[in-house]
A and B are shown apart, each in its own frame.
Chain A
């Protein structure tokens, strides 16, 4: 579900001031009736987008057992931090039971740690190895380059479920079920998308600087670390963010190979949490508190790096 076609758009900081200047010069468009209607439609889109986030917040501060009495309330029902205390393991089993949770402790901190480990290691490995490969595909001359590259790209067409079944067999035979390595390995070394994404950018880096380094006697290794990596730091950072988000949100693979408690990541834990019905129904407040905390790292990352992610969405190949 996370197929993306983000090929690089211009990530040129020099464009920003120009755009700002244009905005101040251009006269404000007059508010005509169609324009007002358009803004109303835009507002509706924003509202539909944001309401579920508000509903998570509202529910997470409610008392689960009281939710049924006033399901339509726009504000939290019986305001409490109980759900968060329950999820984070700060509440005693008795307290949890009283507010509609399950008495069993939720290993939230362990799941959070697992998600952090998996996403971080995956991101570092994938970004490093894929930028190396992308450099070879974009800037070096070697026999078989185009063949290898098109084979990589062809893999984008294969539906993940097809390779997932044999990959599961491989991971099982390696004895890596329910280990971090088992969860991480398949995406640690490469994804076709990451290589495609970075290659597009590396192709665009001016040849002059690299040629200068060649004349300077710099070998490919030095050129990669001293020219390409610094000049390509913007797209590499963008890819790192995208990889981190994808890895953090991944559900299908980790629920196959990492079901056990000690390696269970947050998404898998949420699925398990949802299927528990401690007192006849799910602990909605607890569940919403957990989803919010699980989404929080990504939301914070997006708040600081959002511009980069948004700017990476675009086309260079399609004229």
Chain B
């Protein structure tokens, strides 16, 4: 920790000298450049190995597997576009896409509205670190844990939620056991886990809006609601757009919650795309078809992100 200060003091004494000898630093810089490049590659090397081994190589072999029949035990055999033809005709694939989209719509819709509300509340009410900490808490525990707790709380017989529903005179609901309820229930669990974290992301965006804008709005006699609509929302657009891109992409990756609760059921109603791919590859050992579906998901997500960024003009701000 003492190194930087020591270095700084030597610099002061030398700072006045260099202008008198212009060539010397130049030659010095030249030798250094080569040394710097070598050092840079040494610094990057471990990450580069990791990147090539666990990102580039799998991306390429995934692409290759998608054109093969591959069961892990024998070498992959090339079958051309067969996997993709199968994909187009596979009702379960389209069911998975539909289920996932339905989940993403509920999850993102609810989560974004709630997170925006929480962020604005925090922004207008308090800077408290304790409140921010509590809000973030669910995001810190594992998906598996969040899923298990709610699995218990939503239980048909023993769950507190059904106790309350029963208590106010309604019929108990089999949250995980009924096709119509399963996806909304899973979506709710993940809204609970992510809304606070998303709120903090939006909250960070809110803090970049200058106070003067609100003061000007207040002088003009704007109500809180009016200011939210005419100041907060428009100025927050780039942040909201980025948050949406990130949360939507994340939401499509749903797996853990399904794996520990419904495992795709009842009757495929929660067989989301990631779970279907997992099931195809690791339970039925159809790595070729699994890879084809994974690639389709990648293309889908990339297109979706591109459209989102275009529609929301995420990289352009209305501020300044």
Interface residue ranges, A against B (CB under 8 Å): 1-5, 9, 19, 23, 34-35, 38-39, 41-42, 45-46, 48-50, 52-53, 55-56, 59, 67-68, 71-72, 129-130, 132-133, 135-137, 140-143, 145, 148, 151-152, 155, 157-170, 172, 185-190, 192, 195, 208-209, 211-216, 218-221, 224, 226-227, 230-231, 245, 248-252, 255-256, 267, 270-271, 274, 281, 284, 287-288, 291, 294-295, 298-299, 302, 306-307, 309-310, 313-315, 318-319
Contacts and interface: CB of A to CB of B under 8 A. Distances in A.
B115 to A, nearest CB: 10
Contacts of B127: 19, 23
Nearest to A155: B55
Contact of B204 (A252, A256, A287, A314): A314
B141 to A, nearest CB: 5
B141 A219 contact: no
A219 B39 CA distance: 9
A208 to B, nearest CB: 7
B78 interface: no
B94 interface: no
B143 A251 contact: yes
Contacts of A310: 129, 132-133, 136, 200
A169 B287 contact: yes
User: Which interface class (under 10, 10 to 19, 20 to 34, 35 or more) fits B?
Assistant: 35 or more
Contact of B196 (A49, A72, A281): A49
Contacts of A141: 33, 36-37, 40
Contacts of A59: 152
Report the 10 A-B pairs with minimum CB-CB distance, sorted nearest first.
A189-B50, A212-B11, A166-B58, A220-B39, A314-B204, A249-B142, A72-B163, A190-B47, A226-B3, A133-B47
B185 interface: no
23 contacts: A1-B256, A19-B127, A71-B163, A72-B167, A143-B37, A155-B55, A161-B278, A163-B54, A165-B287, A208-B11, A212-B7, A213-B7, A215-B11, A249-B144, A251-B142, A256-B282, A291-B145, A291-B149, A295-B140, A302-B136, A310-B136, A318-B239, A318-B242
B173 interface: no
Interface in B146-162: 146, 148-153, 157-160, 162
Interface of B: 1, 3-4, 7-8, 10-11, 14, 32-33, 35-37, 39-41, 43-44, 46-51, 53-55, 57-59, 61-62, 65, 72, 117-118, 121-122, 124-127, 129, 131-138, 140-146, 148-153, 157-160, 162-164, 167, 190, 192, 196-197, 200-201, 204-205, 207-208, 224, 238-239, 242-243, 246-247, 249-250, 252-256, 259-260, 274, 277-278, 281-282, 287, 290-291, 294-295, 297-298, 301-302, 305, 317, 319-320
A55 B7 contact: no
Contacts of B224: 34
Given A52-B153, A157-B301, A167 B54 contact: yes
B87 to A, nearest CB: 14
A101 B166 CA distance: 28
Contacts of B158: 67-68, 71, 281, 284
Given A71-B159, A141-B40, 9 more contacts: A1-B254, A19-B127, A140-B43, A162-B295, A168-B281, A215-B11, A284-B152, A298-B141, A299-B137
A11 B58 CA distance: 37
A52 B39 contact: no
A306 B134 CA distance: 10
A188 B50 contact: yes
Nearest to A156: B249
A226 B41 CA distance: 19
Contacts of B274: 161
Contacts of A185: 54
A319 B315 CA distance: 9
Contact of B40 (A145, A166, A318): A145
Contacts of B125: 35, 38-39, 42
B144 A162 contact: no
B170 to A, nearest CB: 14
Contacts of A35: 125
Contacts of B129: 306-307, 310
B305 A157 contact: yes
A53 B137 contact: yes
Given A140-B40, A230-B3, A158 B298 contact: yes
A109 B247 CA distance: 35
Contact of B140 (A129, A151, A299): A299
B59 A163 contact: yes
Nearest to A314: B204
A221 B319 CA distance: 41
A271 B160 contact: no
